[in-house]
Structure 1
Amino acid sequence: MTAGSGAASPSHGPRLVVVHPDAGVLAEAVAARLLTRVLDIQSVRTPVHVVLTGGTVGIRSLAAVAAHPVRDAVDWTGVHLWWGDERFLPTGDPERNETQAREALLDHLPTLPPENVHVVPAPGDGVGTPEESAALYADEISRFTPDGATHLAFDVLLLGMGPDGHVASLFPGNAGLDAQGTTTGVHDSPKPPPERVSLTFSAIQAAQEVWVVAAGAEKAPAVASALAGDPVTTTPAAGALGTQRTLWLVDLAASGRVS
């Protein structure tokens, strides 16, 4: 069910809100939509750049991609996978978004080249701080950024959202909200672990399509706040905008306070 849409701004495309009955249907719908979008892009060009997200529904959506019958219709050799944020934890830690994504999806894609998986550098892999990791990740993104462009225009950038309205690792009131460039190190996250690496708002807003995925009644106040255009300092998800289109993919419970 489509709940509503917003008008386009000069620098961002229209915003569409799509409501699904529950979290399970939402995850399946996100998977089908993502596979369809990748196939549509591959019909005209390659490569395709997709930014993955973590969180309960995010990882459930990736597992749904792995199980979907259309999965093998995608040419995974022409897909590059990135992350919007990462917990600054050692490689293989079960709390890393990368670890969870590998278990849910990446390990089920035998044709996906390892070099197409762009992970955020972890402590112990030559970096000692979130800032060092963020700088290296920004360098990796810049390798695929066209000459003359400030940011790589990701084709689809998936974001989960917390009950506090945070997206990626951009939390209300945190210094990361004002970060410049492509990536930022994050400290004092109110959600453990305290140290993280995140894309900045400017990098997120350079994506062609931004999809915010949220489920559960505890997310309803933040969904309503973001869609009402409240300040990003209080509801960072309000700044999740794509240049061509912004999709809010939510379940019925999360949409409960949207007018």
Structure 2
Amino acid sequence: MSNERRAIVHSSKPELAHAVAERFLNKVPQIIAEFDEATIVLTGGTMGQAVLDAINSSPKRDAVDWSRVNFWWGDERWLPARDGERNDVQARAALLDHVAVDPERVHSFAASDSGLGLDDAAAAYSHELAQHSTRFGTYPHFDIVFLGVGPDGHIASLFPEREGIRETERTVIAVRNSPKPPDERLSLTLPVLNSSVRIWAVVAGSDKASALGLTLAGASYNEVPAAGLEGRRKTLFFVDSEAAAQVPDSLIDPGQFWTSADSTDEH
């Protein structure tokens, strides 16, 4: 397995969101042309939504055959279906409601008002992953997994020194007593995230600098969950200059401050 792990720095949050959006809009048509579909895992958070906003506002948006794109989520807040704090609600408002997606290809986690309990909701999403899995697998073939990184280094809803980050058997876990509100959440586990061909972590802000520095320096993923990210082909950290403040120069990609032309090297 060949895996690249790089940090690509952009000067500001808007430029970061724009560059990731452009890379996405260049890459997804290539994936669809090769495999007849693309499968994407979305994330929440400020930068996750900013990237979707940038995709939506790009003139390249309608060059994507959105009817061939499958959407999943890395984690979700255990809130009612229409709650504006849910990751899927934010994603729909930012992008999915504006493009011609196939509703059957949009896979949201169950909501707290769905009639399911938290554990049953985790089991239901795990079952849904298995139903769309590759042959003999337990989850789909993911082309791109988007993730944010918290100030504590958490990814999805996998937090430092919690059981969730060490889970290797289950594909989806119920999270209780989260250190970040709301207390209850649902999350894919690290092996599922790492099954993706490409992991794109989008990280911005000075409060993320320490976690990013530790991540790229090879900290223990039990202590800094983001350090456990390893996509099958590429693990890219798209960051702004503030988040990169504690990353040694040797760990920053020499093509920092790249533009959308960056995507041409990815196969």
Decide which of 226, 238, 247 is 2:215's aligned counterpart. 226
Structure 2: segments with no counterpart, 5+ residues: 249-267
- Which residue of the partner structure matches residue 6 of structure 1? none
Cα distance between partner residues in 2 of 1:128 and 1:144: 23
- The answer to whether the Cα contact below 8 Å between 1:57 and 1:215 also exists between their aligned partners in 2 is yes
- Which residue of the partner structure matches residue 101 of structure 2? 112
Does 2:122 match 1:144? no
Decide which of 43, 59, 66 is 2:49's aligned counterpart. 59
Residue deviations 1:101-123 (CA, integer Å, cap 9, x gap): 111111111x2111111000112
Does 2:235 match 1:246? yes
- Which residue of the partner structure matches residue 6 of structure 2? 16
**Equivalent residues in 2 for 1:126-137 (5 A)?**
126-129=115-118, 131-137=119-125
CA shift, 1:210, in A, is 0.5
- The answer to whether the Cα contact below 8 Å between 2:132 and 2:139 also exists between their aligned partners in 1 is no
Does 2:60 match 1:70? yes
Moved more, 191-200 or 40-49: 40-49
Cα distance between partner residues in 2 of 1:19 and 1:178: 30
Cα distance between partner residues in 1 of 2:141 and 2:244: 29
RMSD of aligned C-alpha atoms? 1.1
CA shift, 1:151, in A, is 3.4
- The answer to whether the Cα contact below 8 Å between 1:152 and 1:207 also exists between their aligned partners in 2 is no
Cα distance between partner residues in 1 of 2:157 and 2:8: 24
Cα distance between partner residues in 1 of 2:19 and 2:116: 37
**Equivalent residues in 2 for 1:155-194 (5 A)?**
155-179=143-167, 180-194=169-183
SS in structure 2 at match of 1:184: strand
Does 2:258 match 1:258? no
Q: Which has the higher contact order (CA 8 A, sep 6+)?
A: 2
CA shift, 1:152, in A, is 2.3
SS in structure 2 at match of 1:255: helix
Q: Which amino acid aligns with 1:149?
A: G
SS in structure 1 at match of 2:97: helix
- The answer to whether the Cα contact below 8 Å between 2:37 and 2:68 also exists between their aligned partners in 1 is yes
Residue deviations 1:115-164 (CA, integer Å, cap 9, x gap): 111000112213112x2111111111111211223432310000011101
Decide which of 111, 115, 124 is 1:122's aligned counterpart. 111
SS in structure 2 at match of 1:44: helix
- The answer to whether the Cα contact below 8 Å between 2:48 and 2:148 also exists between their aligned partners in 1 is yes
- The answer to whether the Cα contact below 8 Å between 1:49 and 1:81 also exists between their aligned partners in 2 is yes
CA shift, 1:201, in A, is 0.5
Cα distance between partner residues in 1 of 2:152 and 2:199: 19
Q: Which amino acid aligns with 2:22?
A: A
Q: Report the TM-score when normalising by structure 1.
A: 0.93
Decide which of 33, 39, 46 is 1:49's aligned counterpart. 39
CA shift, 1:197, in A, is 0.4
SS in structure 1 at match of 2:34: coil
